[in-house]
């Protein structure tokens, strides 16, 4: 089988390439150049470049070196303009609208897999392989591709893959779906010691220091756009009790950094973009009985006409919980929780798993907000 393999220069993609090579497949290696490091946006307070986890020159060099040792063709895809248009710009706009986005989902489905699919087809490749921890199985009876969590649940990355279409899943191949991390490192050591020992980053790749609001400030300044305005922090009664420095600096559930002295801890419970307000309340105000999700993608079956029972996750490191999902006339979904959930956050992704405790991904969507009416 001829396979296009995405090679980031990290341990996971390097191990995936090694495994596929040892299985006898014909490989073509690709690295995606996503973020222009020369723009001077990712700098610290002294103006010095921040260490990058987004296809830096070192990462490209490491990927090329692994491809060379495996003796496979290697190409670099320049996707900088697409990445900024499809990932960075929506990320900035989402924060400025009062949401807390997770750009890795859109990056995978709308950029990486879409671009690799197109390149793979042009080169006659049958599959597109990546170093994601996930599993894809073809159900012949249903004529459908199904997505499952990795056997290593702690490393599982299906949260970032729920938006993949049936066409994309038909070509997706995840060699690490049943692997443990240390075994993956051992495989990578066999071909390149440097990539095998690379540390992982939990941050968004184009914001390596994790300071999202500061990245947005630098991005807006670089683009010559107006900076977010300051505004009021109000309580549930609409009384002004403080001032904020821009709604992009706050997220649902935030307690620290509000600058308000109060007898009880206060939490951000809502962000009102149109009024430019941060609304705060007690801990109990964060609880939600239901929420709305848009942009829902159903993987296990077509959009259901009846309510579906599922286990639902509302953030990456969140334990899935039982809920009932009802598809609304516009294609969005109302998710009713069996028990109230804390800090439902607009802009985050939600993913639906098999209600019976299995690993199958039923589908997913984008959180609009809680809906307790």
**CATH architecture designation of domain 287-370:** Beta Barrel (2.40)
Compute the average pLDDT of residues 12-36: 92
Q: Which fold has domain 2-196?
A: Rossmann fold (3.40.50)
Q: Does domain 228-281 have CATH number 3.40.50.1000?
A: no
Is the dihedral angle over the CA atoms 335, 339, 344, 348 positive or is it negative?
negative
Per-residue model confidence (pLDDT) at position 191: 79
pLDDT of residue 37: 63
Q: What is the pLDDT of residue 201?
A: 64
290-300 per-position pLDDT tens digit? 999 999 999 99
Least confident range of 21-25, 196-200, 253-257: 196-200
Q: What is the pLDDT of residue 57?
A: 73
The residues spanned by each domain of the chain are 2-196, 228-281, 287-370
Environment class of residue 334 by beta-carbon count within 10 Å: exposed (0-12), middle (13-18) or buried (19+)?
Answer: middle
Q: Which residues are part of the catalytic machinery?
A: 107, 205
Confidence of residue 198 (pLDDT cuts 50, 70, 90): confident
According to the model, what pLDDT value does residue 309 have? 98
Per-residue pLDDT at 302: 95
- Percent of the chain past pLDDT 90, that is, above it, reads 71
* pLDDT mean over 104-110: 90
**What local confidence, expressed as pLDDT, does residue 40 receive?**
60
Sequence-ordered list of residues with C-beta below 8 angstroms from that of 130, at least 6 positions apart, any chain: 5, 6, 13, 16, 112, 172, 173, 174
**Same CATH fold, 287-370 and 228-281?**
no
Confidence of residue 209 (pLDDT cuts 50, 70, 90): confident
């Amino acid at each position: 089988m001829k396979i296009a393999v995405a090679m980031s220069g990290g341990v996971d993609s390097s191990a995936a390439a090694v495994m596929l090579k040892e299985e006898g497949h014909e490989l073509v290696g690709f690295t995606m150049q996503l973020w222009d490091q020369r723009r001077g946006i990712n700098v610290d307070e002294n103006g010095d470049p921040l260490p990058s986890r987004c296809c830096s020159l070192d990462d490209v060099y490491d990927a090329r070196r692994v491809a060379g040792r495996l003796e496979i063709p290697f190409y670099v895809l320049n996707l900088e303009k697409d990445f900024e248009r499809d990932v960075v710009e929506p990320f900035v706009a989402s924060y400025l609208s009062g949401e807390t986005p997770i750009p890795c989902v859109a990056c995978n489905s709308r950029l990486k897999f879409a671009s690799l699919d197109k390149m793979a087809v042009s080169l006659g490749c049958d599959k597109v392989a990546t170093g994601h921890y996930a599993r894809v199985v073809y159900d012949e009876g249903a004529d459908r591709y199904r997505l499952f969590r990795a056997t290593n649940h702690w490393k599982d990355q299906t949260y970032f893959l729920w938006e993949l279409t049936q066409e994309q899943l038909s070509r997706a191949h995840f060699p690490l779906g049943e692997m443990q991390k240390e075994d993956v490192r051992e495989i990578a050591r066999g071909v390149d010691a440097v990539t095998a020992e690379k540390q992982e980053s939990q941050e968004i790749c184009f914001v390596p220091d994790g300071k999202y609001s500061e990245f947005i400030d630098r991005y807006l300044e670089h683009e010559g756009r107006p900076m977010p305005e300051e505004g009021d922090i109000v309580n549930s009664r609409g009384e002004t009790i403080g001032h904020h420095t821009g709604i992009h600096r706050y997220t649902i559930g935030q307690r620290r950094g509000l600058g308000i002295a109060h007898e009880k801890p206060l939490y951000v419970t809502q962000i009102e973009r149109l009024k430019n307000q941060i609304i705060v309340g007690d801990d109990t105000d964060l609880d939600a009985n239901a929420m709305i999700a848009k942009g829902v993608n159903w993987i296990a079956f077509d959009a259901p006409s009846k309510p579906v029972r599922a286990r639902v996750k509302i953030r990456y490191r969140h334990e899935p919980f039982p809920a009932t999902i009802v598809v609304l006339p516009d294609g969005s979904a109302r998710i009713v929780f069996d028990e109230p959930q804390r800090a439902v956050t607009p802009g985050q992704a939600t993913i639906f798993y098999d209600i019976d405790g299995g690993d199958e991904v039923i589908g997913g969507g984008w959180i609009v907000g809680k809906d307790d009416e």
